Chain A
């Protein structure tokens, strides 16, 4: 420890923003990937069995 820390609010805010943005990006990527994979499989199933 180098002594009492002052003016750390910027670093706190930057940490939470960086974490939030990274998690939001991961969530968006995961949701998009899941939706696309499901859609492609459903389309193929419909091509295979058009009456379903």
Chain B
């Protein structure tokens, strides 16, 4: 079943109409979500206007974890099934995961200064998130060090899966250790939220917008990678036939 849906030609034909739709939806949702966050969300009792940073920081953090999970699942599928599209997905998700991790760290730092009194502290949550960024950059550097795509895919997949150990560390670091970072209160497993409706709904809206944006970026990057591989395969075939 996976091979049926993960056929590169089918992927290209399915995503051709999907990409512009996702791009427009993501742009509209994020523009509306940011206007909602900056213009209409009231100041919080203790944090004042800095609570608005939550509307970029939390979606970037959550979607960066989802992006790394996409890399890890795709890497596992590649190692088991040897399907090239799984490797394309893992490789394509990496720069997006890196950008989102960077946004999460920068906005977290800018949020930390007025609320904690410091831009940075070697806190478990912050450090594990920084480690994720370095891991993704390392994954990209490792892949680019190989000449052959198959070797790069295998080495990258192994590194990505080893690094997946960091995902639960990021998620549960605020529970396992005493940290300056506040515990997860946005959505708990029981469905309760520590946020009132006026803060919760704009956050949900921005989170969905960020997820759609990730989908659009992933499809665009995957399409360019498929084009690149088709070009290389065709060029190799032409070279073989002329020599």
| Residues of A near any B CB (own CB < 8 A) | 1-9, 11-12, 14-16, 18-19, 22-23, 25-27, 29-31, 33-34, 36-38, 40-41, 44-45, 48
Contact = CB atoms under 8 A, between A and B. Distances in A.
Contact of A19 (B107, B113, B230): B107
Given A14-B110, A48-B234, A5 B99 contact: no
Contact of A48 (B34, B114, B238): B238
A6 B117 CA distance: 12
Given A19-B103, A23-B103, A11 B224 contact: no
Contacts of A36: 224
B8 to A, nearest CB: 13
Given A4-B45, A37-B231, 6 more contacts: A1-B115, A19-B107, A30-B220, A33-B221, A36-B224, A41-B227
Interface in B187-226: 213, 217, 220-221, 223-225
A2 B238 contact: no
B48 A18 contact: no
Nearest to A9: B49
Interface size class of B (residues with CB under 8 A): 35 or more
A14 B38 CA distance: 12
A11 B227 contact: no
A8 B47 contact: yes
B50 A44 contact: no
B49 A12 contact: yes
B234 A37 contact: no
17 contacts: A4-B45, A6-B48, A8-B50, A12-B53, A15-B110, A16-B34, A16-B52, A19-B56, A23-B30, A26-B99, A29-B95, A30-B221, A34-B221, A34-B227, A37-B225, A40-B227, A40-B231
Contacts of A23: 30, 99, 103, 213
B212 to A, nearest CB: 13
B116 interface: yes
B106 interface: yes
Contacts of B217: 26-27, 30
A27 B107 CA distance: 19
Contacts of B57: 15
